[in-house]
A and B are shown apart, each in its own frame.
Chain A
Amino acid sequence: MLDGRGLIRRRAGARLWLSGLWLTVFVLAAVLAPLISPQDPLAQDLMLERLPPAWVAGSEPGYWLGTDSLGRDVLSRIIYGAQVALAVALVAGLATCLIGSALGLVAGFYRGWADRIISRIVDIWMAFPPVLFAILLIAVLGTGLTSVILAIVIIDWTRFCRVVRAETLNQSKMDYVHSAKVAGFTRLRTLLSEILPNVLPVIVALLTLEMGIAVIVEAILSFVNLSISTDQPTWGGMIAEGRTSIHQAWWVLVFPLIALFFTVLSFAQFGEGLRERFDPVLR
């Protein structure tokens, strides 16, 4: 007999495992970069410039994905670029999530003046166009990894705050919140042990989404040369450099783009997969 639930679970499982696999590769690459990079990502060699990937005629052994116009190994630069992407995803993602969710929970649950203040700030915040806001912030803060992370947090906490507030507001209307009051729970305990577990799935989904967004934002800032110094390879920087020689050496642009694409996609899918796997209501 065909069990529909089994099918859904298997698909959810595949989603979780595939995205988890890619993210594991991504994290390992970032952490083990010095050990696994076939070449020095910064070493320039004009004799080796614009070598094609290994399977194309004219390639050199040891340069699997070819070299860029300065003769630097593309694969090694992608592996080292994962470091920046990972740092941005983790630090910016988590910080954004913590700040935005905490404020959203407080605003949605306690209402009153706390809600009024937080909601007004969010409204004002959202009136700034985010990309211009980011560029402006970096201009003020100066370039560098910390500035990029700070810019992402400062801009994107409102995304969490709005969604988490709305969800908290919804949950607060449920009778189980009244029931917690009848049980004699304090307000704080009600928020943390009753409401938070019901808002958590939304937070997790947003968090993984935000990690993907953080990677993209960093890449965009690198692309417009506002991210970090040139001696740390970044995917955005590579894409920017590859763009200028797209007709002579497509691989310089395409491979970092693929890495970026799969990483961002995997973050979002991983969040969905976690939800489907661990949320008791969906399970």
Chain B
Amino acid sequence: MADSIFQVSDLRVDVPDMTRKPLFGAAPRLEILKGISFEIPRGAVLGIVGGSGSGKTTLGRTLVRLVEPNAGRLLFDGRDIAHLSDAGMRPLRPRIQMIFQDPMSSLNPRLTVGRTIAAPLGAKVSDARVKAALEQVGLPADFAGRYPHELSGGQRQRVGIARAIAMRPDFILADEIVSGLDVSSQAQVLMLLEQLVADLGLTLVFISHDLSVIRRLCSRVIVLRAGEIVEDAATADLFERPRHAYTRELLDAIPIPDPSVRW
């Protein structure tokens, strides 16, 4: 019990389906997550994969309680946070952090990098923790005075990571954090994350549809399809012996450089 940071059982999220709403009366419910159960051990790096629209983002956002589930239990550190109010969540917020997919939209364009990192800490820009966080993600300290539009995509994403780790959280959700980057910045950001996970002993959920990335980073993988878990296995097992046909499909979709092809 104590060694699981998240325990999720029968988690359900549905939204009213406005496209099929009759003229009068309530819209039918559209199920996005259909009863999901899994655990995240402390210190684990869990990958969540699945095709587009399979519910990965919704699941992630429910974990950090940007979304309230309609049913099921969501235990964080032994405590059910499924239906906590905003005010009830607030004391837990510093422990549960998130890195967003699009750093352009997730960094306030009119705040400097320093203020973006300092504000959640309730600290001044000159605070040592701001400097330390920038250093940890490999950005020079004078970047604290820059605005997001003055950074490259990879640098922006590093700021997003710095903001999350500066809080010294117990848990970080990373939702497709490299999918907006070019291949070389992708590799750099992933290397950075790998190193931070090792250094800080982070518990991380890493959402991606890129299985090769998952393979490198994660110790366990959950495969999601249409709001249901189809496979939940250790990374090595999943790649060696995929049990579900859908997983095999995903594995087959990984592009493998073919040495026999000439150009």
Interface set of A (CB-CB < 8 Å, partner B): 174-176, 178-179, 181-187, 193-194, 197-198, 279-281
User: Could you list 24 examples of A-B contacts with CB < 8 Å?
Assistant: A175-B102, A176-B105, A176-B107, A176-B109, A178-B66, A179-B100, A181-B86, A182-B97, A182-B98, A183-B119, A183-B120, A184-B90, A184-B91, A184-B93, A185-B120, A186-B86, A193-B119, A194-B108, A194-B111, A197-B111, A198-B108, A198-B110, A280-B110, A280-B147
Contact B96 A174, beta carbon cutoff 8 Å = no
**Docked-complex contact B109 and A181, CB < 8 angstroms:** no
Given A179-B100, A184-B93, output 4 extra A-B contacts at Cβ < 8 Å.
A176-B109, A183-B93, A184-B94, A187-B86
Q: Would you list which residues of chain B between 189 and 239 have a CB under 8 Å from chain A?
A: none
Report how far A178 CA is from B98 CA in the complex, Å: 10
Chain B residues with CB under 8 A of A179: 98, 100, 106-108, 163
- Chain B residues with CB below 8 A from A197, complex form: 108, 110-111
Q: Cα distance A179–B93 when bound, in Å?
A: 11
Chain B residues within an 8 Å CB radius of A183 = 93, 119-120, 163, 167
Chain B residues near A185 (CB-CB < 8 A): 119-120
Query: Which chain A residues border B89 with CB–CB below 8 Å?
Result: 184
A185→B167 CA distance, assembly (Å): 13
Number of chain B residues close to chain A: CB under 8 A:
28
Say yes or no: is B149 at the interface (Cβ < 8 Å to chain A).
yes
User: Beta-carbon contacts of B44-62 to A below 8 Å, as 1s and 0s?
Assistant: 0000000000000000000
Given the complex of chains A and B, what is the CA–CA distance between A271 and B149 in angstroms? 23
Q: Which 6 A-B pairs have the closest CB atoms?
A: A184-B93, A183-B120, A175-B106, A175-B105, A176-B108, A197-B110
> How far does the alpha carbon of A174 sit from the alpha carbon of B106 in the complex, in Å?
7
Q: Is B64 an interface residue (CB 8 A)?
A: yes
Q: How far is the CB of A202 from chain B (nearest CB, A)?
A: 12
**Complex-state Cα separation, A194 to B105, whole angstroms:** 12
With CB as the reference atom, state the residue of chain A lying closest to B102. Answer: A175
Residues 54 to 109 of chain B near chain A (Cβ within 8 Å) = 64, 66, 86, 89-91, 93-94, 96-98, 100-102, 105-109
Question: How many A-B Cβ pairs are below 8 Å?
Answer: 65
| Structural contact, B64 and A182, CB atoms closer than 8 A | yes
Considering only residues 98-149 of chain B, those with a C-beta below 8 Å from chain A are 98, 100-102, 105-112, 119-120, 147, 149
Complex partner residue of A281 from B96, B147, B163, CB under 8 angstroms: B147
Task: Tell whether, in the assembled complex, residue B100 and residue A178 are in contact, meaning their CB atoms are under 8 Å apart.
Answer: yes
Report the separation of the CA atoms of residues A106 and B91 in the bound assembly, to the nearest whole angstrom: 26
Q: A184-B120, A187-B86, A197-B111 given as contacts; is B106 within 8 A of A178 (CB)?
A: yes
Let me know if B109 and A281 touch, CB within 8 A: yes
- A175 neighbours in B (Cβ, 8 Å): 100-102, 105-106
Q: Are A181 and B66 in contact (CB under 8 A)?
A: yes
Q: How far is the CA of A178 from the CA of B120 in the complex (A)?
A: 13
Identify the closest chain A residue to B101 (Cβ).
A175
Interface-central residue, A178, A179, A182, by most chain B CB under 10 Å: A182
In angstroms, how far is the closest chain B Cβ from the Cβ of A9? 15
How distant is the Cα of A193 from the Cα of B102 in the complex, in angstroms?
Answer: 21
Distance between Cα atoms of A185 and B90 in the complex (Å): 8
List B contacts of A281 (CB < 8 A). 109-110, 147, 149
Beta-carbon contact of B109 and A198 below 8 Å: yes
Residues of A within 8 A of B97 (CB): 182
- A280 → chain B, closest Cβ, in Å? 5
* Contact partners of B101 in chain A: CB under 8 A: 175
| Separation of A183 and B100 alpha carbons in the complex (Å) | 13
